[in-house]
Amino acid sequence: MEHEIAIRGEIVTGLGKGRIFLSMEHYRRQFADALGFDPYPGTLNVKVEGEDLISFENLKREEGLRIEGGTVNGKRYGGAVAYRCKVIGIAAAIVVPEMSSHKDVVEVISGCGLRKSLKLRDGSILRITASL
């Protein structure tokens, strides 16, 4: 039976690593195949706390879409798990990298630059709805 997990949080500036990974053909192709859209090279970072952090932790216990890591130019990169979601009606995905220092930041990808398309800025509050 399908259910939803809603997560609300505040837009924050990321470290720029999402842009690097999503620019790698190895990852871009897997995300496109799994999600049905060519991911924009970058993530939207949403800081969560309280009940929303608990919802994010619960989401990570669900089965998602596996994205395999790989080796590029002799350097090993980790995999990730993606969860389909919607951001203000736009098809997107929450991405949980295996190797991440983020504990309270949700990384979201879509086929467009969400920050620009939705006119978001640091401090904007956003609701993400994952369908499982």
26: domain CATH number is: 2.40.30.30
What local confidence, expressed as pLDDT, does residue 10 receive? 98
In angstroms, the Cα distances linking 20 to 4, 24, 81 are 30, 7, 17
DSSP helix/strand/coil, 84: strand
pLDDT of 124 above 80: yes
Among 65, 62, 64, 78, which Cα is nearest to 26's? 78
Residue 128 has pLDDT above 60, yes or no: yes
Domain around 22: 4-131
pLDDT bin (cut points 50, 70, 90) of residue 14 is confident
Read off the pLDDT of residues 20-37 as tens digits, 9 standing for 90 and up.
888 889 899 999 999 999
User: What would the two tokens of residue 67 be?
Assistant: 């994205």
Question: For the ranges 23-27, 60-64, 71-75, 102-106, which has the lowest average pLDDT?
Answer: 71-75
What's the whole-number mean pLDDT along residues 44-61?
96
Binned at pLDDT 50, 70 and 90, residue 129 comes out as very high
Q: What is the model's pLDDT at position 1? A: 55
CA atoms of 106 and 127, how far apart (whole Å)? 11
- Four-residue CA torsion sign, 52, 103, 29, 79: negative
Lowest mean pLDDT among 80-84, 97-101, 127-131: 97-101
Split into its structural domains, the chain has a count of 1
Confidence (pLDDT) at 71: 82
- What percentage of the chain has pLDDT greater than the value 70? 99
